[in-house]
Amino acid sequence: MVDFTAGDLPDLHGRTAIVTGANSGVGLATARALAIAGARVVLAVRSLDRGQAAARTITGDTEVRRLDLADLASVRAFAAAWTGPVDLLINNAGISVPDRRRTADGFELQFATNHLGPFALTNLLLEHVTDRIVTVSSQAERMGRLDLDDPDDERRPYRESAAYNRSKLANLLFTAELQRRLDAAGSRVRAVSAHPGLVQSAIYSESGAVLRLMVRLLGQSADEGALPVLYAAVADLPGDSFTGPSRWAHMRGAPQLINRSATARDAGLAARLWTLSERLTGTRFPLGHHFSTDPV
């Protein structure tokens, strides 16, 4: 356990952070803490109205830009409009929905929003990134099962939890392969992941009654849930670190480094997921060109 609070953030004046899904929950709490510490924070959100309302609650330098991670055209437009450095890219936005839905690109909505969108955004912005990429995952990855021959899980009945779990597993595999590629390219950028714990968040708004009750009774606040994300963003951690709360089976408490499943440590699976994600999104790692699908 690390005695870390939002007040322990370093002076971030002169630094720029992009936080996806920053209009509520952990994303808003993360954006608020970074802005208070002096960063220029870009709230990347689906609804400009909601984003602007959120920005008005933040003290500091903020900007709101539209980004819909479920729509690859929106991801490309956001990245194409970007100029200047990105010191911190916080891939926070995520969803959980009770029924199978398709994106405009034809992908299952959770896999697209939680993995493919952040994958594409990261690769399209990577040449601008100077310091760190934090992707918000979850310990739910331990229950994730990822079939790369059926990434939209069409061969079995849709289950909300199964779709969410595999998208969170994909987040960790993405981070691991991204760090491998950054290292191979000689980049000093670090890719890390964070698990916010059980948080009272709008992500559960369409979940079942039992889960919503559990979250309401046992979940920690968004400010508390943001601590592992903030810690991952600024602490001196090695690439491919995974941070999360320290108590209640890593569901509450101060942040610390935590473990991940054996599947999330499968370098071959991470490399194959990367290849598939490149094909599905039409985006590629921009810092080098000679990567095999088998890890070195």
Which residues belong to the active site? 164
Residue pair 171/117 in contact (Cβ under 8 Å)? The answer is: no
Residue pair 200/215 in contact (Cβ under 8 Å)? The answer is: yes
What's the order of all strands across the beta sheet hosting 129-136?
62-66, 40-45, 16-20, 86-91, 129-136, 190-194, 242-247, 252-257
* 172 CA to centre of own chain: 9
Determine whether 107 is exposed, middle or buried from the number of CB atoms within 10 Å of its CB (0-12, 13-18, 19+): buried
Nearest Cα residue to 66 out of 48, 54, 82, 92: 48
Question: Residue 157: what are its φ and ψ, rounded to 5°?
Answer: -60, 145
